[in-house]
Structure 1
């Protein structure tokens, strides 16, 4: 650690170079690649800046759907999500505004996700079972929080990462192609580029291209031993959250690790490409994969299911349209659905209403997605707002501005991959039906919309 002075600094903050170099003060810039990145960010649009920063830093968390089917529920892999078993729980939507768990408790999620929910015994210390639980817990922590620091909110998990560092480095590299750097006071997993995983907005607002550039330059400055420019409030806040700057001290080693080169940008094997999508995204539809990737996944489903259960404690839900990896502990996700809060409740209710209106009948073909009439979204959102808004204590700002409510609810469903854009319209994807009331085995056939639903 080195002491720093806050405020504006020298122009050396724009430097760059080999990512872990330790350069004496006054030497040439050591991070030219990072300096070039800052220049690109400065001149880019918002979506391009989000993509550039995410690709360079790879610090996003895993994202998975919540709600696991009952253990005695049917699990026919050839069944469509449109007509299969559901996790519909109306009572769960009646909670008032609140947050989700933001941490992975050591051992809890790994045990809950091991397929022995509610009847597991505490493993014997030092036993192979205990080692497996510890490794799974450490891997889950890194998948959820790719930067773990000794003084950060997940610091209690760092000793576990240190204990199994060699295994974790090998597993992440072999299975996902992710570099893992473990230092005395930190662990930094560098993930591959993934669309839509930019930094979350701060209390100062969303990250603009210029704010991203300022953040990159500030990290470079710390890594080079210079004082960072902290004029941008969001930069100071982010460096504090990353523990690069704490109580007047600058962590040069950690700053260098943040600038470390990520996964190679060369093509990866089909197995790695598919595993990355399974590990990081809520749903993988077969028609989104290349033919070779699709064949590989279908041929290796059993092995991959066992692999992800052992590595990350995730369970597989196979359907005719694709696969979703789920976390029985509902922890391994940066967004919660189902979840508490206005947006989570409204978005899931909206998805349920759309499924009930648009779901293909059992005797019809089951496409991966169906087009949503724009007027149906407005009508459904208006109905659920009237029915649930005041009773559930939803945010008054949303109740007073249905345009903003619609935008943010659809954005959440999009990020959870339950809907997808189709030009200026939306597609409702088949996995959304896992949250709607189950369709009865023999629905009435009076008319297309004369359907009877259970639940």
Structure 2
């Protein structure tokens, strides 16, 4: 009986650790308001060792906040931007460059803030910081007199609320946009202190283009030994397997591909056992599938008009992939979306019949498909990727039928 009880307790412990890993992969910053925070704190020692060994990511778990410092496997991937729901929008809207700048200015203001702030207070500080010569030279200006700019600040506040850096006390953001009210927040300094996830402070990086600066602030110091180089390769591959929906062999360097060919079995075994994911290995690459959806930030298929439209467009692009059409014009996708609207508008929301609705739905669908690594979207062109084939359908082939005569 003692052995059986020990086995049950071990399985319960391992299941809790897998849940904690999935929670951190989906939400790398957790506070006591998050259901999984207690699990992460309980198993913090094991989790810190596992993430450091397998992915080279550090975990800080303190009273009040748990922060997994993830470094993307692909620094050039911009398909999964920060996003919030704007006003009455049904789909989450990705952050623009201006919103990212505004978010940085707001965080700089909050570093100097009292325990509580209002949106009106943030406006004054952001406008003052935005007068910096480097920001104006980049062609970015904020006056906060425009309704859209005030809406952008509200979007930033919503993002900080979701992260736990701000905690709402009273007021209404929409009233602030309409100039009929304000909103009051508590500032959580523990969250603010761990938001930045870099190896080096951005102010310590010499001038350069965006890619060079991003690489510099996230650079890992690797010993110039065979073990150090292999560890760096393992970390790079693991980060993409854990953080990206699909790892394509074509995106790997020759060294990474050689390492993965040799170590694929043991590597996938360690990752699947620790996460509860299932490994799907295909000729073009590998995907770790989360059957629980607990680590999934972008799901597919999803309910609603956007979800159905995205699935239909994925099927259309999958047909183009099977037809070996490497590039699909966005205009062609929009025309197909217009046909989908005609076929399904009775079941979709009413405004899909508005002029230009096909462009909006197509853009949303392509953003979702790009984030899932099912397509690449460059300007007016879309490239269907191999994993998109799982959303295609072939004509049924009936076998074993009997002659009716």
The alignment's TM-score, normalised by the length of structure 1, stands at 0.61
> Is contact 1:244–1:251 with CA below 8 Å preserved after alignment?
yes
Query: Per-residue CA shift, 1:119-151, capped at 9, x if unaligned?
Result: xxxx97962111110111111111111111113
SS in structure 2 at match of 1:427: strand
Match in the other structure for 1:250 = 187
Q: Map 1:135-174 onto structure 2 (within 5 A).
A: 135-151=17-33, 154=34, 156-174=35-53
Gaps of 5+ in 1: 1-122, 361-366, 443-455
In 2: Cα distance, 1:137 partner to 1:327 partner: 11
Q: Which runs of 5+ in 2 are unaligned?
A: 88-92, 124-152, 170-184, 200-216, 223-231, 399-405
SS state of the match for residue 327, structure 2? strand
Structure 1 residue 441: Cα displacement: 8.0
CA offset digits 1:224-274 (Å, max 9, x no partner): 979685224344434433333434643323321224645851376111111
SS at match of 1:127: helix
**Alpha-carbon distance in 2 for matches of 1:260, 1:423:** 30
Aligned residue number for residue 41 of structure 1: none
Matched, 1:266 2:157: no
CA distance in 2, matches of 1:358, 1:234: 37
Describe how 1:24-423 pairs up with structure 2 within 5 A.
127-151=9-33, 154=34, 156-193=35-72, 194=75, 195-196=77-78, 197-203=80-86, 206=95, 208-221=99-112, 229-231=121-123, 232-246=153-167, 247=169, 249-259=186-196, 261-262=198-199, 264-266=218-220, 269-360=232-323, 370-373=326-329, 376-391=332-347, 393-394=348-349, 396-397=351-352, 400=355, 401-421=357-377
Question: Which 4+ residue blocks in structure 1 deviate beyond 6 angstroms?
Answer: 123-126, 224-228, 439-442
Alignment match, 1:364: none
> Would the aligned equivalents of 1:399 and 1:405 in 2 still touch at CA under 8 Å?
no
Q: Distance in 2 between matches of 1:243 and 1:423?
A: 35
Structure 1 residue 179: deviation in Å? 1.7
**How many residue pairs end up in the alignment?**
308
State the distance in 1 between where 2:373 and 2:379 align: 16
| Contact 1:308–1:315 (8 Å) recurs in 2 | no
- For residues 379 and 226 of structure 1, the distance between their equivalents in structure 2, rounded to whole angstroms, comes to 50
Which structure: greater helix fraction?
2
| Alpha-carbon distance in structure 1 between the residues aligned to 2:122 and 2:379 | 40
Q: 1:64: which partner in 2?
A: none
- Cα gap change, 1:441/1:272 in structure 2, threshold over 3 Å: closer, same or farther? farther
Which deviations, in whole Å up to 9, do the C-alpha atoms of 1:324-378 show, x marking residues without a partner?
A: 1111123321111111122221112112123234405xxxxxx7x8222556423
Measured after TM superposition, the shift of residue 157 of structure 1 is 1.6
SS of the equivalent of 1:352 reads helix
8 Å contact from structure 1 (residues 211, 234) kept in 2: no
Superposition CA RMSD, Å: 3.0
Q: TM-score, normalized by length of structure 2?
A: 0.68
